[in-house]
Chain A
Amino acid sequence: MTREITLSKAVNEAIAEEMRRDETIFLIGEDVAEAGTPFKVLSGLVEEFGTDRIIDTPIAEPGFMGIAVGAAMTGSRPIVDLMFGDFLFLVMDQLCNQAAKTHYMSGGKLKVPLVLRTNLGATRRSAAQHSQSLHALVAHIPGLKVALPSSAYEAKGLLKTAIRDDNPVVIFEDKLMYNDKAPVQEEEYLLPFGQAAVLREGRDITLVATSSMVQVAQAAAELLARENISAEVIDPRTIVPLDEETILASVRKTSRAIVIDEGHQNFGITGEIASRISEKAFYHLDAPVQRMGAMDVPVPFSPALEDLTVPTPERVAERARLAVRGELFHAA
């Protein structure tokens, strides 16, 4: 049976199902219990699992992140709730120097099975410190897995997989998508890491899009279809591990690619994926691989400015048109 549920509900269900299955799981973060987070994603969990397992902390991100790392090293499976992705900068030592490296530095003797749930996404009029998409920062660090669900269906299946993984996993939810509904089956399911989804098949160009940008790519593909340009849309679902094969197979078929991601474009996910395509499918390409990330400015508050900083269906479609027409050669 399939029903339509919000991404928020999907996350809530994933956590509840896993916590019922495994007593060693607990959830920790700011305002996660009675408040259920500012986005109300966790509402109802404390009533079922109690304050022993849904643990409210002081406003001390490095502190509770470190506590989760230690708990994970000693038999627990913590889920850390980081209220905004922007707060990643506060927990970087505990996440990147401790959690990510412990398994390696101990020669494989210690494990850190924890999930860091946080979010990304601009255009919520929240300005520069509550709007960033910082997944490239953590994807850069060996030892961390990084998941980027683009729908309620993916959010549930990827989160359940993350919780069962024996490694630190950072999962970014698009905070603008919490109330978006999608079909989600009632039966239990998990989505494997490192397997991209081909969300729309096409012949002329491949749009590789992550998280919030999947909707943008899908809408762009619709626009292009009206002009008889057939776009294939690929959602990697996880960027570490990255399903290179599915992306390369698509590009070998279409011969063109645009990579779209809401992280800043400079030194980001778009550059990484574009580079892998160029290295490994170069002789199949009919146009330079395009990167479309968030504009390299701090996210501005004013709606008039903020909306300029994130790729839109129209801008993606325009870039695709140029690529398909062979007019990208002299692009800046």
Chain B
Amino acid sequence: MSAARKPAGDKRNAETYLRMYRQMVRIRAFEDNANQLYLSARMPGLTHMYSGQEAVAVGICEALRDSDKVTSTHRGHGHCVAKGAEFQAMFCELLGKAEGYCRGKGGSMHIADQAHGNLGANAIVGGSMGIATGAALSARRLGRDDVTVCFFGDGATAQGLWYEVMNMAALWKLPVIYACENNGYSEYTRTDEIAAGSILARAQAFGIESHQVDGQDVLAVNQLAGDLVARARKGEGPFFIELMTYRYHGHHVGDINRDYYRSKDEEAEWKTTRDPITNFGMWLQEQKIASADDLAAINDEIRADAEAAVAYAEKAPYPDASEVDMHVFAGIEHALQQV
């Protein structure tokens, strides 16, 4: 793996690496628990798993400040964790409980810890591309040097909105980074069957500096993101990154029988040879940053945290019925009484 080429550096770097490892494990642990909640029918609705793509969210979000913004997708749990969210409020949201980040009104597809710069997960594919670009415009107009990262999948590159806002971002040199997580599949369809030409070239056509990176290599992602975020902060944006990654689950948790569009061999290949957590763990051991026991302890601790958060969320109360018409309008406590 390419990460093995990089030096471990000083102690401070070691802490950063361990934090990235922990964050990736946290995402995987969250998703494994979410999947179990679905499979055991303890979760309302369904959810889209981020497992396999952890190096993308973590590599990028570790390059961001708290005040930097991200926009997320229907496959958004990874971005949410990576941008600073806690398990308890996330599982509460997943189960529609009042202590969820969105008071149970958003659920899996809208989960976000807004206080850490997450402007929301979006259930319209490509729906947040304008929002991210607008956040970048806002930051620059208001004299802040915040950068916005717009996460979206390869499927979303088929949406026209992206081309409209990339045009404006490039014209106005906005501090936005479009991060396309190319996991190869647009829902239930191979993306190479529905995407003409090169995705990278589409951004380049707007004069936007574009990069392709191994999205399974958290260090490569983090190094590139760190560089681009710093440059975007200085006004050199926008940028485009295509992160080559893989989705371990189906389009959503209920997409079990998927041989018709993706082979089990292909899935096994990615999971055994390209897993971002396993490979980064091996590198940490090679670099003597952590032992196998250290990593196992991290895994165990995070798994226990996740399970405790699930148990908490399952017992947590649902929102009171009186909340149903709250938050329809800012400044109006109960919309149905006043509109």
Interface of A with B (CB < 8 Å)? Answer: 24, 26, 52-53, 57-58, 60, 62-76, 78, 93-94, 97-98, 102-111, 113, 142-143, 145, 165-167, 194, 240-242
Contacts and interface: CB of A to CB of B under 8 A. Distances in A.
Contact of A71 (B106, B129, B134): B134
B106 A66 contact: no
Nearest to B169: A67
A93 B330 contact: no
23 contacts: A58-B171, A62-B161, A63-B164, A64-B130, A64-B164, A64-B168, A67-B134, A70-B128, A70-B130, A70-B138, A74-B69, A75-B142, A76-B141, A102-B120, A103-B330, A105-B105, A105-B120, A106-B114, A106-B327, A107-B106, A110-B120, A167-B330, A194-B338
Contacts of A106: 101-102, 105-106, 110, 112, 114, 120, 327
A66 B112 contact: no
B131 interface: yes
B329 interface: yes
Please give me the 3 A-B residue pairs with the lowest Cβ-Cβ distance, nearest first.
Answer: A66-B130, A70-B134, A63-B164
Interface residues of B, number: 49
A107 B103 contact: yes
B7 interface: no
Given A62-B164, A63-B167, A103-B330, A241 B338 contact: yes
Contacts of A57: 168
Nearest to A57: B168
Interface string B317-339: 00000000011111100010011
A233 B103 CA distance: 44
Contacts of A58: 164, 167-168, 171
Contacts of B243: none
A163 to B, nearest CB: 14
Nearest to B113: A109
A63 B105 contact: no
Contact of A167 (B103, B168, B331): B331
Given A60-B167, A106-B114, A109-B102, A73 B124 contact: no
Contacts of B160: 62
Contacts of B326: 108
A24 B135 CA distance: 13
B312 to A, nearest CB: 18
B133 A70 contact: yes
B137 A67 contact: yes
